[in-house]
Amino acid sequence: MAQHRQHEQGQSETEDHYYREHADRRYRIEVTDGAAIPDRRDKGLFTAWRISFFGAVGIILTLCLVKPDPYVEILTFLPDGILVTFEVTILSILLSLVVGLIAGLGRLSANQLINLTASTYIEVVRGIPLLVQLFYIYYALGTFTQIPPFTAAIVAMTVCYGAYMGEIFRAGIDSIDYGQTEAARSLGFSRRQTMFYVIIPQAMRTILPPVGNEFIALLKDTSLVSIIAVADLLRRGREFATATFDYFETFTLVALIYLLITLFLSKIVNIMENKMTPYGSR
């Protein structure tokens, strides 16, 4: 990164150094805090995905058949929460993509102030647990102005995941060979045009898999919002359990449903990764 910027400012040693500098560029970002992506090339993991997925489906079906009361009842009570979980997830992911792109570009900015602001934002947010951020926005800021729980949830998730996305965007953009920037600039493109017409379109395919991963991680983390009275999947489960005292049955189903959703999403991320063959080799 430092080398990259240095060269742009024309401070690298010689033209020969320039090519050496770029020989060790990473072309793939490995981030796996979401879920293990079931890649067909990894036989063990692929089998594990199948066992988990169909195992979970099997257990849910068996439980409902063997003991319809309370399992079927729980299963009809939870979908509202699943919907809320999806709403929080999708809104947060869309907003955090925007924040992430801005933060990522900020981290690459030659402007010291913008660069420092973006870096500090990422550093601070990554250093505070999401649950604490959630409490802070809902309860601490709530002492000044009352924020609806759903809004607070979205804001907290966006701020937090925007910082993570920012790092992914930065790494993805940084992984594009500097020769691309030089070629575009030599044709007369401005910095901004180069970024949007040449660099970001190429960075997208490096960025997409880790972003998909963040998507899964974010979905799991939405369970935290249940604590500030957002009626998501976990919250609905808690409501049912406290009313009926069926703690074991309820949370078994809640866990299995989260697992199913996560496994389903990781499969989609995997399909997406496989679709991204090199340009022109389709």
Partner 1 sequence: MAADSTPIIQIQNVFKLFGNFIALDDICLDVFPQEKIVICGPSGSGKSTLLRTINQLETINSGKVVVDGTDVSHPKTNINRVRMSLGMVFQNFNLFPHKTVLENLTLAPIKLKGISKQEAEERALPILDKVGIREKAGSYPIQLSGGQQQRVAIARALAMSPKIMLFDEPTSALDPEMIGEVLDVMKELAMEGMTMIVVSHEMGFAREVADRIVFMDEGRIIEQGPPQQFSNPVYERTRQFLHKIEDQ
Between 4 and 185, name the residue whose CB sits nearer to partner 1: 185
Between 79 and 179, name the residue whose CB sits nearer to partner 1: 179
For 152, the token pair is 């607070």
Q: Is 278 in the site for partner 1 (CB under 8 A)?
A: yes
Q: Are 88 and 154 in contact (CB under 8 A)?
A: yes
Between 196 and 264, name the residue whose CB sits nearer to partner 1: 196
Q: Is 197 in the site for partner 1 (CB under 8 A)?
A: yes
Q: Is 11 in the site for partner 1 (CB under 8 A)?
A: yes
Distance of alpha carbon 84 from alpha carbon 225, whole angstroms? 10
Site size with partner 1, rule: CB under 8 A: 30
Q: Is 30 in the site for partner 1 (CB under 8 A)?
A: no
Residue 26 CB, nearest approach to partner 1 (Å):
16
Nearest residue to 107 via CA among 154, 158, 155, 172:
172
Phi, then psi, of 15 in degrees rounded to 5: -65, -30
Distance of alpha carbon 200 from alpha carbon 249, whole angstroms? 48
Between 76 and 277, name the residue whose CB sits nearer to partner 1: 277
C-alpha R_g of the chain: 23
Distance of alpha carbon 176 from alpha carbon 171, whole angstroms? 9
Residues 177-196 that bind partner 1 (CB under 8 A): 177, 179-180, 182-190, 193
Q: Which amino acid is at 233?
A: L
- Which residues make up the interface to partner 1 (CB under 8 A)? 9-16, 19, 177, 179-180, 182-190, 193, 197-198, 201-202, 278-281
